[in-house]
Amino acid sequence: MNQLDNKIQKLLVKEQYDSTVEVYDDIRFGSLGGKYFDKVEKSYVTRFLKGIKVLHIGTATGRFTELLTMKNYHYVGIEISKEMTKTSRKRIHNSKSEVVHADGENLPIIGSLFDNVLCVRSFQFLPDPKRFLSEAYRVLEGDGRVIVSFEMFLSIRPLLEKLSLLPLSPPPRTYCRIIDVVALVRRAGFEILWFGKVTRLPLLIYWRSPRFMSKILTVIHDYLPFWFGTVGLVVGRKESK
pLDDT in tens, 153-176: 877 666 555 555 455 667 778 889
202, 29 in Cβ contact below 8 A? no
Q: What is the pTM of this model?
A: 0.93
pLDDT in tens, 51-110: 999 999 999 999 999 999 999 999 999 999 999 999 999 999 999 999 999 999 999 999
- Mean per-residue pLDDT for 177-196? 97
pLDDT at 167: 59
CB atoms within 10 A of CB 27: 12
Q: How much is the pLDDT for 240? A: 83
Residue 116 CB: number of other CB atoms within 10 A?
Answer: 26
Let me know how many helices (H) and strands (E) the chain has, helices first.
10, 7
Q: What is the mean pLDDT of residues 107-124?
A: 95
3-237: CATH number:
3.40.50.150
Phi, psi (degrees; rounded to nearest 5) at 130: -60, -40
pLDDT for 174 equals 86
The whole-number pLDDT of residue 3 equals 72
Q: Poorest-confidence range of 100-104, 111-115, 204-208?
A: 204-208
Chain centroid to CA 120: 1
Asked if residues 142 and 118 have their Cβ atoms less than 8 Å apart, the reply is: no
Binning pLDDT at 50, 70 and 90, where does residue 1 land? Answer: low
The pLDDT value given to residue 47:
96
Burial class of residue 241 in the structure, from the number of CB atoms within 10 Å of its CB (0-12 exposed, 13-18 middle, 19+ buried): exposed
Q: What is the mean pLDDT of the chain?
A: 92
**With pLDDT > 70 as the criterion, what percentage of the chain qualifies?**
92
Local confidence band at 204 (pLDDT 50, 70, 90 cut-offs): confident
Confidence bin at 220 (pLDDT 50/70/90): very high
